[in-house]
Structure 1
Amino acid sequence: MYVAVKGGERAIENAHAWLAEERRGDIAIAELSVAQIREQLTLSVNRVMAEGSLYDPDLAALAIKQARGDLIEAVFLIRAYRTTLPRFGDTNPIDTGDMACDRRISATFKDMPGGQILGPTFDYTHRLLDFKLAAEGELPESAQRDPTPGPVPHVTEFLNQEGLIEEARADDIPPPDLTRAPLEMPADRALRLQALTRADEGFTLSLAYSTQRGYARNHAFVGELRIGSVAVEMDIPELGFAVDIGEITVTECETVNQFKGSKTEPPQFTRGYGLVFGQTERKAISMALVDRAMRWEELGEDFVGAPAQDTEFVLYHADNVQATGFLEHIKLPHYVDFQSELELVRKLRREAGAEQVAEAAE
C-alpha cells in the first residue's frame, strides 16, 4: 500500500510539472504577461470576474494564465481564492442611473435623452479574419472616446410615465449571499438574479435562446443595454455617511415584455433584468430573458413546461463550477464501484443463461 501511495504522488508531481511546461509553451516565444491578458483579453477577464463573483481584473487575468485559457477552470481558481479573503462590510447598491456610459443602446426607442452610443462592439463588424492583427506591433487607429456622464435616465422610465410598464419593486430584505450560504428553494427574484449573474454564460445563453424559440412564449425587446462605470460606496459608521471606495464597470440590460394582464394587473409591459461585471452584454441579455421566464408564477401566467420556467432546474444547473466538479469526478478512480457492478452483470448473465438452459431442457 505504501508503494502504491508513493507511486501515485510521484505521478501527480510529474503531471503538475508537465502541466507547467505545457502552460509555458515554446520558450522561444515571449511569455504572455498578466498585464497583456488583462488589457487585451478583456472580455475573457470580464467573464471570469462575473462567474467568479470577484471584481479584480488582475486576479482574473492571472487565473486565465494559470488555467491555460480554460475560463471555467479560471472561475474555479477565482472562487477558491475569494473564500480566503476577509470581509470588512457590505457596500450600498450601485446606482446605474449615474453610470458613465461607454455604450448605451435601445431597441425600443430610436431617440432618447442622452442618445444612442454604439461604443466598443462587434455588432457592426464583418465576421472576417483581420490578418493585420497578426502583424507584430500593429497599433489600432485612435477612436473618439467620450463616455456619457451620469446621470442618464433609463428608457423604461418613459414607459413608466404612462403606466405602461410594471413598477420596479424594491425589497428592503437583503437576499442571502450565495458566496457564503448554499442555494435554497424556493428562491425569490433577488436570489435568482444573484445566481444568474454568476451562472455559466453558455448555459444561460442556451436557456435564453430557448425562450425566443417558443419555449416559454417570451418574446422580448431590449428596452436598454448600457455598459459603463459606476461608483461603489460604503457606509462608514464612524463617519455617519457613505464614501466612494472605488469604481467598477458593469453591463446592465432591461428587457420589455408584453403582458396581457391578470385579475389584479392591467395589460402592460413587464421587465426582465440582467446585471453583470464588465462588458458582458451577451450574458446580461440572456440573464434578462431567463429572469423574465422564471417570473411566470409571480405574474399569474401559465406554466408551459419550458426549461427556462423551471426555477429549480435553472438554478441547480447554472453554476459551471458545481457542474464541472460533478462531471469531472467520474474520471477519478471508481474501481470498487465498477467491480461491484461488474460482478452484478456477470451474475445476471449467469442467471439468464441458466434460465435459457432450463427452458431448452423443457
Structure 2
Amino acid sequence: MYVAVKGGERAIDNAHAWLAEERRGDPSVAELSVAQIREQLALAVNRVMAEGSLYDPDLAALAIKQARGDLIEAIFLIRAYRTTLPRLGASEPVDTGAMACDRRISATFKDAPGGQVLGPTFDYTHRLLDFMLAAGAEIAEAPQAEPRTAPMPRITDFLDRDGLIQPEAPSDEVPPDLTRAPLDFPANRALRLQSLARGDEGFVLGMAYSTQRGYGRNHPFVGELRVGCVAVEMEIPELGFAVEIGEVVLTECETVNQFAGSKTEPPQFTRGYGLAFGHSERKAISMALVDRALRWEELGEDDMGAPAQDAEFVLSHADNIQASGFLEHIKLPHYVDFQSELELVRRIRAEAAEAGTREAAE
C-alpha cells in the first residue's frame, strides 16, 4: 500500500523560507558578514577548505554562513561548487621545505636548527572561558613578529643523513586524482593520503587515537609540525618554465615512529605524513598517525587486525559527505518499503497467533 504525499512542493518551499529566516536569526542583531567569518572563524574556514578540496577562504566562509555553521553541510556546498569549475591545468608539487613558517615545532629535538616557533596556538592556554570576549573588550596588541622567509631544515633530514629513518623513494609516477575518479582498492599511499586529507576530521582523529591506545602498531613522536605559506607554481607551456601563481597556507606534519625491523628492513625509524589546507594541526597529526598505521604491509609488519590498519575500512568510512548522505537519506520518504515490512510483520504475527491457537486446542 502506498501512502500518497500531497502538497510536497509547497511544503518544501515553505521549509526553505523558514530555513532562511532561521539562518538570519534575530533581525535586531547585526548580520554576520562573510569577511567576519573568514577572519574570525578561520579554523572553521580551514576545515571546510581542507575537506571540501578547494582552497578559497571567501567561498568557504560563505558556505559556513549559508549552512548556519554546519561544517559538514558547508563542505558539501564547497564540493558541489567545485564540480562546476573548469580545470585549467595542474600546479607543480609545492615545496613545503621552503615554507615561510608562522609556526614550527618539534617534539624530538629541543634545539632544532631554525628554532622552535610557537606561533598562534591553543597549546598553552588554560581552557577557561574568557568573558572579556563577550564584553567586546579589545585584545592587547601583540608584538609584531618578524616574518620568517628563510627555509627551515626538516627534522627528518638529520635522521635521514645518518640512515636512522626509512628513506622516501622518489617517484615520477603521476598520482591518482580522487576528485576525478572514485576511490578504488588496493589504494596506494598517494591515494590514501588524498582520502585522509578530505576525510572527516573527527573520524580521522578517532582512528589516530585508536592507534595510540594499542589498536595498531603506532608509537609516534611529532618529528615536525609546521604551518605557513608556500608558493604555488604552474608551468606555462608558452614560456617553457614554471611561474608563481599564488600562495596557500598549509599545515604539514611528519611523525617519527619506532620500527623494530623486518626480514627486509633494518631497525630504524619510519614516517607518517599529513598535509592539510590552512592551520589544521589536529587534522595533519591525525593523518600522519593513520598514514603510518596503513603502511604496515609495505613495511613487512604483521597485521594486528586493528581498524586503523584496514585501508578499506578507514578510507571507505572517512568521507563525511558520503557518510552523511547515506545516513540522512533515511529521513526521506520510505513509505512503500515500510508498508511492505509492516504487512510482513503483521502476517508473521497472525501466523504465529494462529499456530498458538491450534496448539492450545490440541
**SS of alignment partner, residue 273 of structure 2:** strand
CA RMSD of aligned residues (A): 1.1
Q: CA deviation at 1:261?
A: 0.7
Q: What is the CA–CA distance in structure 1 between the aligned matches of 2:72 and 2:304, rounded to whole Å?
A: 32
Q: What is the CA–CA distance in structure 1 between the aligned matches of 2:51 and 2:244, rounded to whole Å?
A: 25
Counterpart in the other structure of 2:315:
315
- Relative distance call for 1:219 and 1:359 in structure 2 (3 A) is same
Counterpart in the other structure of 2:192:
192
Counterpart in the other structure of 1:292:
292
Q: CA deviation at 1:6?
A: 6.8
Counterpart in the other structure of 1:182:
182
Segments of 5+ residues of structure 1 without an aligned counterpart are none
Counterpart contact for 1:114–1:148, Cα < 8 Å: no
Q: CA deviation at 1:169?
A: 2.2
Counterpart in the other structure of 2:129:
129
1:166-205 CA distance string (max 9 Å, x none): 0012221112211111101110000000000010000000
Q: What is the CA–CA distance in structure 1 between the aligned matches of 2:176 and 2:98, rounded to whole Å?
A: 26
Task: State yes or no: 1:7 paired with 2:1.
Answer: no
- 2:104 counterpart letter in structure 1: R
1:228-286 CA distance string (max 9 Å, x none): 00000001111000000000000000000011111111000000000000000000000
Of 97-106 and 170-179, the range deviating more from structure 2:
170-179
Counterpart in the other structure of 2:49:
49
Note the 1:229-244 alignment, pairs <5 A. 229-244=229-244
Q: What is the CA–CA distance in structure 1 between the aligned matches of 2:323 and 2:47, rounded to whole Å?
A: 17
Q: What is the CA–CA distance in structure 2 between the aligned matches of 1:140 and 1:99, rounded to whole Å?
A: 28
Q: Which runs of 4 or more aligned residues in structure 1 lie more than 4 Å from their structure 2 counterparts after TM superposition? A: none
Q: CA deviation at 1:361?
A: 2.5
Counterpart contact for 1:296–1:302, Cα < 8 Å: yes
Q: TM-score, normalised by structure 1?
A: 0.97
Q: CA deviation at 1:137?
A: 5.5
- 1:99 counterpart letter in structure 2: M
Quote the sequence identity (%): 78
Count of residues in Structure 1 that have an aligned counterpart in Structure 2: 359
Q: What is the CA–CA distance in structure 2 between the aligned matches of 1:208 and 1:140, rounded to whole Å?
A: 37
Segments of 5+ residues of structure 2 without an aligned counterpart are none
Of 44-53 and 346-355, the range deviating more from structure 2:
346-355
Counterpart in the other structure of 1:217:
217
